[in-house]
Structure 1
Amino acid sequence: MDSVFGRILKLGFEPTVITLSTLINGLCLEGDIGQALRWLEDIVERGYQPDIITLNTLINGLCKIGDTYGAFRYLRKMEERNWNPGVEACSTIIDSLCKDRLVTEALNLFSEMTSKCIVPTVVTYSSLIQGLCNFSRWKETSALLDEMMQIGIMPNVQTFNILVDTLSKEGKTTEAKHIFEVMIQAVKEPDIFTYSSLIDGHVLKNQMDEAMDTHSI
């Protein structure tokens, strides 16, 4: 990659941010995140400033290889350099934190981003809802769902599927069916995952009921 950059300069061309971002994105796609980060630092020293797409690509790359801490650390570096991370970078880290079962840390970052007037998206909320559902923190899940709708962000199919699936797996078929009905009212077309979750939930509920009847005998 250094040789490519050197060749561009030797030919007398002044690379643009798009050119540099493309080169860095290529390293990320190859999974060489370490080299991409080192190369970014190098071009910053040369006086170039990366665009938001490149920064988001690096954050996404770090999270994809499971280095959530590294992504969070780089987010702080971006802020120190007054590079506004934007909602995509924050949402990516929030999602990765939730997948690492670090929901409290994800909620803290969420609060931080909203305090900085970074407006969350349905992706941000869905990640947090999944994280909370994984721990059966239903009161907080409900509050988050209400909050997103109050500010005009409607849950998408994925959001509803997260709720239906988690409730079904816990045998809460009545609640899962209620979410399904809300989904229909919101004109969100259920998919095969929605129906599969509901069916699995009813099967589980029947098994639980049968086990209780057997135990009572």
Structure 2
Amino acid sequence: MTNKDHCPNAVTYTTVINGYCKIGDLGTAHKLLDEMRECGVVPNSLTYSVLIRLVFRRRDVEYGRELMRKLWERMKDENDPSLNTAAFANLIDSLCREGFFNEVFRIAEETPQGISVNEELVYRHMIDALCRAGRNHGPEWLPREVGPLSST
């Protein structure tokens, strides 16, 4: 890209990293993450969440947790709340899709995202993701003050 006078940014890198993650090429995704940093482009919270999806798909729980710690740290510094919301939703969907429900419940208990994501959106998305994954009894474990999902 830079050879053709295109200046890649976090969105560009994240999109390409996501493509490599979708085809299961974690090595190239990591090379792009390193290149991103070398070029002075800061990975955003969504960048980490797309990497986490592939890591959990590969069942590398320890590395997935390490990346989640980086995600939570990045969320604290993120200026765009919509990026944090998208990253959180992507993370929860990925964990549920891959069957890591205990990780979702741990996140619900510990709230490592803090105030980086709207609390109501956090629980509503968890409930939705758990139900879509066939864990209809899972939402019973989440806090009661969330209330019913709206139809909007």
Q: Which TM class, normalised by the smaller chain length?
A: 0.5 to 0.7
Q: Distance in 2 between matches of 1:181 and 1:66?
A: 35
User: Could you tell me how far 1:78 is from its partner in structure 2?
Assistant: 0.6
Question: Residue type matched to 2:35 in 1?
Answer: K
Q: Which runs of 5+ in 2 are unaligned?
A: 79-83
Q: Distance in 2 between matches of 1:187 and 1:100?
A: 34
RMSD: 3.4
Task: Specify which of 96, 103, 113 is matched with residue 130 of structure 1.
Answer: 96
* Contact 1:125-1:144 within 8 A present in 2 as well: no
Task: Specify which of 37, 50, 53 is matched with residue 11 of structure 2.
Answer: 53
Is 1:186 matched with 2:147? yes
User: Could you tell me how far 1:143 is from its partner in structure 2?
Assistant: 3.0
Partner of 1:163: 130
Is 1:42 matched with 2:3? yes
Aligned to 1:85, the other structure's residue is in SS state: coil
% identical aligned pairs: 19
Q: Distance in 2 between matches of 1:177 and 1:160?
A: 5
Partner of 1:62: 20
User: Could you tell me how far 1:114 is from its partner in structure 2?
Assistant: 3.1
Aligned to 2:122, the other structure's residue is in SS state: coil
Q: Distance in 1 between matches of 2:140 and 2:50?
A: 30
Q: Distance in 2 between matches of 1:90 and 1:118?
A: 14
Q: Which runs of 5+ in 1 are unaligned?
A: 1-39, 169-174, 191-217
User: Could you tell me how far 1:135 is from its partner in structure 2?
Assistant: 4.8
How many residues align? The count is: 138
Aligned to 2:37, the other structure's residue is in SS state: helix
Q: Distance in 1 between matches of 2:58 and 2:26?
A: 8
Task: Specify which of 97, 106, 119 is matched with residue 55 of structure 2.
Answer: 97
Aligned to 1:111, the other structure's residue is in SS state: helix
In structure 2, do the counterparts of structure 1 residues 150 and 113 end up closer, same or farther at CA, with 3 Å as the change threshold? closer
In structure 2, do the counterparts of structure 1 residues 87 and 41 end up closer, same or farther at CA, with 3 Å as the change threshold? same
In structure 2, do the counterparts of structure 1 residues 118 and 105 end up closer, same or farther at CA, with 3 Å as the change threshold? farther
* Contact 2:53-2:95 within 8 A present in 1 as well: no
State which structure, 1 or 2, has the greater radius of gyration over its C-alpha atoms: 1
Question: Residue type matched to 2:65 in 1?
Answer: L
User: Could you tell me how far 1:77 is from its partner in structure 2?
Assistant: 1.6
